[in-house]
Amino acid sequence: MQSPWQLVSGGVTSPQGFQASGIAAGLKPSGKLDMALLLAPEQAVCAGSFTTSVVRAACVDLCAERLAANGGQARAVLINSGQANACTGDRGLIDSQRATQALADQLGLDAEALLICSTGVIGVPIPMPKLLAGLDPLVAALSATGGEAAATAILTTDLVSKQVALEAELGGRRVRIGGIAKGSGMIHPDMATMLGFFSCDAGLDPSIWKAMVGQAVQRSFNAITVDGDTSTNDTVLAFAAGDPLDSVHHAALEQGLTEAMQHLAKAIARDGEGATCLIEVQVEGALDEPSAQRVARTIVGSSLVKTAVHGRDPNWGRIVAAAGRSGVPFDPEQVALWIGPHQLMQSGQPLSFDPEAASRVLRSETVQIRIQLGDGPGNGLAWGCDLSDQYVRINADYTT
């Protein structure tokens, strides 16, 4: 369907009733903004999506447990950048609890309604006196225009801050979705956790919102890969609060949420350190959507495909080889492949094509690869970036 959503300027505080702030509390040695707060209206529902890693930070455990205990309700999330609070043992959980308790006292709320996310160096505890001293100015700075400061305060190795706001008319009323995110690929895994925070000024049942958020995350943040590594702290939290939205508009809302998340997911992939372009892989004709997504992710995650794109080489062999090892069954003799508008394969065999023209397409800011596996109904998308010698230098030279 034609999307009713329009991109508007703004971010996580664009939806009505949401406030945010960002300050420098001295957690980062650089003196940059390093604490953020997002406050949702009363009655807000919240859904989360967390890292699947076995090694996960204390704050991730805390978020998952409180959301489950509260039946998907929460009022605010505190974010600190500088220390990931992962591999910090019992102390990590105690620090997370203390931080949310102190914030609850400041806000006059129940600590159980507050969440916390951390990003930064692994294995280093949060300097708690600095964080606690930061709560007072952080709460004082809360405002309906504070989304931009919050977007900056959650960054670590990112080159640019990432915000999105969408607006639609649904049933005669204006609905907005906002979001901020950080992450520049798992380039410094101990500094580059992926975090995303979303807001929406429509009221929804917690279980319906949770299903929407899960589906939108699957089609956005779970569809990007920079180098295949997953962090200890990856978290997406999405809040919704406002007048209830008629169920006839739920599909449109999910579409908007998906568009907002895809917008920021692509911004993260494009911000991969050393990256010179965004790669979008479109898989068609698979058995189902999960199969198509798996093939798309395998292609966009292949070091060989990524280096070929970096070298502006229309190497169809690497793309089809990556599809072949994805674990998804298909008939190789039905495969068709395009780079941009140029078709390189048909019925599993190479076509003759103009390599110069195809190479020119690979010089775009966004490189589009499309592969048709068969005539099944499953389509899927994935995004990533090219692999440059700059990536290796950044990672090899970075010393813990």
Which one among 146, 315, 339, 383 touches a second copy, defined by CB under 8 A?
315
At closest approach, how far in Å is the CB of 306 from a second copy? 9
Q: What angle do CA 317, 315, 297 make, to 5 degrees?
A: 75
Of residues 193, 232, 235, 298, which has the active-site annotation?
Answer: 193
Q: Is 400 a catalytic residue?
A: no
At closest approach, how far in Å is the CB of 266 from a second copy? 21
Can residue 329 be called a binding residue for a second copy (CB under 8 A)? Answer: yes
Which one among 230, 282, 343, 379 touches a second copy, defined by CB under 8 A?
230
At closest approach, how far in Å is the CB of 87 from a second copy? 6
Mark the segment that binds a second copy (CB under 8 A) among 127-135, 201-209, 253-261, 386-394. 386-394
Phi/psi region, residue 16 (left: phi>0; alpha: psi -120 to 50; beta: rest), is beta
> What token pair was written down for 34?
């390093």
* Residue whose tokens read 């008319």: 169
3-state class (DSSP) for residue 73: strand
> What token pair was written down for 154?
């959650």
* Residue whose tokens read 């698979």: 286
| Amino acid identity for residue 139 in this structure | V
Which one among 318, 367, 383, 385 touches a second copy, defined by CB under 8 A?
318
Nearer CB in complex with a second copy: 265/295? 295
b (16+ CB within 10 A) / e for 105-116 = eebebebbbbbb
Looking at residues 331 to 370 of the shown chain, list those that interact with a second copy (rule: CB under 8 A). 332-333, 335, 345, 347-350, 355
Can residue 209 be called a binding residue for a second copy (CB under 8 A)? Answer: no
At closest approach, how far in Å is the CB of 326 from a second copy? 8
Q: Report how far residue 288's alpha carbon sits from residue 285's, in angstroms, rounded to the nearest whole number.
A: 8
At closest approach, how far in Å is the CB of 213 from a second copy? 22
Mark the segment that binds a second copy (CB under 8 A) among 83-91, 102-110, 159-167, 202-210. 83-91
Nearer CB in complex with a second copy: 116/345? 345
Contact in structure between 179 and 260 (CB atoms under 8 Å): yes
Q: Where are the beta strands (DSSP E) in the chain?
A: 6-7, 19-23, 35-39, 45-50, 76-83, 114-121, 162-170, 173-182, 195-200, 235-240, 278-286, 336-339, 342-346, 349-350, 366-372, 378-385
Nearer CB in complex with a second copy: 55/68? 55
Looking at residues 143 to 202 of the shown chain, list those that interact with a second copy (rule: CB under 8 A). 186-187, 189-190
Q: At 2, phi and psi to the nearest 5?
A: -65, 135
Contact in structure between 192 and 186 (CB atoms under 8 Å): yes
Where along the sequence are the contacts to a second copy (CB under 8 A)? 51-56, 87-89, 121-123, 186-187, 189-190, 227-232, 302-304, 307-308, 310-311, 313-318, 320-326, 328-330, 332-333, 335, 345, 347-350, 355, 387-389, 391-393, 395-400
Catalytic residue numbers read: 193
